[in-house]
Structure 1
Amino acid sequence: MKLCLIRHGETAWALTGQHTGITDIGLTARGEDDARALAPYLRTLALSQVLLSPRLRARQTCELAGVAGASVVEADLAEWDYGDYEGLRTADIHRGNPEWNIWQDGCPGGESPAQVSARADRLISHLCTLQGTLALFSHGHFSVALAMRWIGLALIEGQHFALHTASVSLLGIDGQHQGRRIIELWNQRLNWPSSPSPTE
């Protein structure tokens, strides 16, 4: 089994660095172009199943990438629930809480790292019942969280992994060491803009 993890294309809030959890905003024009640029690569993968977050930005990315026909919405692929920090930039949050780190502290009124970790573990358990190459359309923070749990790391390690919009990452199993989960590819852009969007 292999997981092709795709972060949605650029949105207006991704450009400004605003935390976008439950707010359902669509892609920018550049985000749409970046999503279309995913299509040739995804056609090479012989996907067995396509799962996507229920959020509009993920659904648009999936559709523009040309693989929405057989897609299934998977609620556990939704972004981290930012609670009271929804719509805020990290700089805004740090003015009131200079030591805040989402990977350690989570979000008041939203999800904690333990809750996101448990959600990622639940999703991985489900994915491991499937076969073939799966495409997963998700979001910045949750995609990193999923990758951390895939290779058995605590969520706090996610603070060291950047993930740009419309990027592709591959999670798999090492053929030389049965059962060892690996990250084969990380944060690959197929249509690099002049400057990448921030992680949020």
Structure 2
Amino acid sequence: MPDKDAGTPRVFLIRHGETEWTKSGQYTGRSDIPLTADGEKQVISSARVVVGPGKMIDPSRVTQLFISPRLRALRTYELLFDEPTRHQFEGKVEITEDIREWDYGLYEGILPSQAKAGRKERGLDREKSWNIWVDGCEKGESPAEIKSRLDGVIAKIREIQGPYMHGEKPVDVVIIAHGQILRAFARRWLGFEVGVKLPMMLEPGAVGVLSYEHHNVDEPAFMLGVNMADREE
């Protein structure tokens, strides 16, 4: 049975590799923490499997990359794509705060359990438990602020990909960022509010894929499974 959506543009969501705070579970927003040695290995292993000519992320099909300015994301970019490929991407890379991690405000560097305990000490959450997706962060970002900056990136991507829904031109997009913001991005891509209950997981160094149904830019979709076979031109 032929793939009815073959040739439809894709958006690859790539989470940076492991850091020390990834391991401990501490909120890591504005802090610039390097990848661990294992984190670098995670990214290199992913690159071997999914990056290259004819593979899931074929550099010849990538028209734009959006990268968080945090060092852990920039290092992930360097490990994913070799120097000749990065040279090939010149003019296609946008390093932007719009795709940086959620600003956790008072919760930066602490565990979720500590954030909840601190809120209760300050007299918050008496009627319901704190939910970052709904309530945001004290002295940090709200879901509305997250929505605003992510919607701007999504609008840019739709403008890039919209004219080429049937594969007339390769216009895949790569986003290299962080766990929380990429899950928020997937919600907004699908048209859901940031606070909607939609449990998702994205491991360090892992790749998620978004696209469209029926070759239609107005039907954004999440690719539940990806065929790893070579993509035909």
Shared fold (TM-score greater than 0.5)? yes
The one-letter amino acid paired with 1:130 is I
Which stretch shifts more, 67-76 or 112-121? 67-76
Question: Quick check: which has more Rg, 1 or 2?
Answer: 2
SS at match of 2:30: coil
2:33 is equivalent to residue 25 of structure 1 = yes
Distance 1:185 1:29, change over 3 A: farther
Work out which of the residue numbers 189, 212, 218 in structure 2 matches 1:173. Answer: 212
What is the match of residue 180 of structure 2? 141
- TM-score, scaled to structure 2: 0.75
CA deviations over 1:74-123 (Å, ceiling 9, x no partner): 22110001111111110111222362211011001110011101111111
CA RMSD between the two structures: 1.8
Question: 1:49, CA displacement in angstroms?
Answer: 2.3
Deviation >4 Å, runs of 4+: none
Q: For the residues of structure 2 that align with 1:158 and 1:25, how far apart are their CA atoms?
A: 29
SS at match of 1:6: strand
Give yes or no for contact 1:5–1:168 (8 Å, CA) kept in 2: yes
Give yes or no for contact 1:94–1:100 (8 Å, CA) kept in 2: yes
Question: 1:68, CA displacement in angstroms?
Answer: 4.1
2:44 is equivalent to residue 5 of structure 1 = no
Unaligned segments of structure 1, at least 5 residues: 187-200
Higher strand share: 1
Unaligned segments of structure 2, at least 5 residues: 1-8, 121-128, 162-170, 226-233
Distance 1:123 1:115, change over 3 A: same
- TM-score, scaled to structure 1: 0.86
Distance 1:123 1:176, change over 3 A: closer
2:68 is equivalent to residue 50 of structure 1 = no
What is the match of residue 86 of structure 1? 108
Q: For the residues of structure 2 that align with 1:124 and 1:178, how far apart are their CA atoms?
A: 11
SS at match of 1:4: strand
CA deviations over 1:30-84 (Å, ceiling 9, x no partner): 0000111122312222222222100000001110111544233122110001111
Identity, % of aligned positions: 36
2:131 is equivalent to residue 122 of structure 1 = no
User: What is the count of residue pairs matched by the alignment?
Assistant: 186
Give yes or no for contact 2:158–2:217 (8 Å, CA) kept in 1: no
Question: 1:154, CA displacement in angstroms?
Answer: 1.2
